[in-house]
Chain A
Amino acid sequence: EAGVTQFPSHSVIEKGQTVTLRCDPISGHDNLYWYRRVMGKEIKFLLHFVKESKQDESGMPNNRFLAERTGGTYSTLKVQPAELEDSGVYFCASNAAHNSPLHFGNGTRLTVT
């Protein structure tokens, strides 16, 4: 089966610009998660979708971040406008059932200059 795929693998943008990250979970996985790792720090939870519904978005840093999962398949995470502190690696993960192992994507490395 295809794994979790993320696009792009790397994005470099200027402060104030907009970037949209995409995640395609494993087919059939209702649960989709976004995480972020800022350089040298721990990986932090951003939000959790169950199908198309946001189950928990308590980790979203601020209203410059918008996540969607229309149709309950792939998800997008948009940052608008980007700030320097948004730089980091954004991971997407999915699982089929609650408490089953998470499958992670390769991550998107976002650099805001």
Chain B
Amino acid sequence: AQTVTQSQPEMSVQEAETVTLSCTYDTSENNYYLFWYKQPPSRQMILVIRQEAYKQQNATENRFSVNFQKAAKSFSLKISDSQLGDTAMYFCAFWVEYGNKLVFGAGTILRVKS
């Protein structure tokens, strides 16, 4: 079975501080892509960051970075210098190479407080 587990339903962080959202997944495939999507209160889901499973180097995108541990099937998202605009629901997901669907977790609500 292919599953994604996000163990933190809700998290809060002070503005300018750092927060890490956890994600573990399960797949028997060796080649896949991992994603973090963000859905702000306006509801459009946008891609935050992407990681190819064959790459050992962790992906970074400005204030967003991941800690990808393939053996442990872990893919956490670190947000540095948190901003009020980071308040959103964050979804972890993966896509198996040659597959045709994203497999999502249940999401983590992140609230950035001033």
Q: List CB contacts (< 8 Å) of B56-114 with chain A.
A: 91, 93, 95, 97, 100-107
Residue pair A3, B44 in contact (C-beta under 8 Å): yes
Residue pair A40, B46 in contact (C-beta under 8 Å): no
Residue pair A48, B101 in contact (C-beta under 8 Å): yes
Residue pair B102, A45 in contact (C-beta under 8 Å): yes
Does chain A have a CB within 8 A of B4? yes
Chain B, Cβ-Cβ closest to A44: B104
Q: How many A-B residue pairs have CB under 8 A?
A: 49
Residue pair A107, B43 in contact (C-beta under 8 Å): yes
Q: Contacts of A98 on B, CB cut-off 8 Å?
A: 100
Does chain B have a CB within 8 A of A42? yes
Residue pair A102, B100 in contact (C-beta under 8 Å): no
Query: Using a Cβ–Cβ cut-off of 8 Å, how many residues does chain B contribute to the interface with A?
Result: 23
Question: Given A99-B33, A99-B95, A106 and B101 touching (CB < 8 A)?
Answer: no
Residue pair A106, B104 in contact (C-beta under 8 Å): no
Question: Given A45-B101, A99-B97, A106 and B44 touching (CB < 8 A)?
Answer: yes
Residue pair B101, A59 in contact (C-beta under 8 Å): yes
Does chain A have a CB within 8 A of B30? no
Query: Using a Cβ–Cβ cut-off of 8 Å, how many residues does chain A contribute to the interface with B?
Result: 23
Residue pair B106, A42 in contact (C-beta under 8 Å): yes
Report Cα–Cα, A18/B35, bound state, in Å: 35
Report Cα–Cα, A21/B37, bound state, in Å: 23
Q: Contacts of B95 on A, CB cut-off 8 Å?
A: 99
Which of B4, B47, B101, B107 is close to A33, meaning CB atoms less than 8 Å apart?
B101
Residue pair A42, B101 in contact (C-beta under 8 Å): no
Which of B4, B43, B47 is close to A101, meaning CB atoms less than 8 Å apart?
B47
B residues contacting A by CB (< 8 A) are 4, 33, 35, 37, 42-47, 50, 91, 93, 95, 97, 100-107
Apart from the given pairs A35-B104, A105-B44, 12 other A-B contacts in the complex at a CB distance below 8 Å = A33-B102, A41-B106, A42-B104, A48-B101, A55-B100, A89-B43, A91-B45, A99-B95, A101-B50, A102-B47, A102-B102, A104-B44
A residues contacting B by CB (< 8 A) are 3, 33, 35, 40-45, 48, 55-56, 59, 89, 91, 98-99, 101-102, 104-107
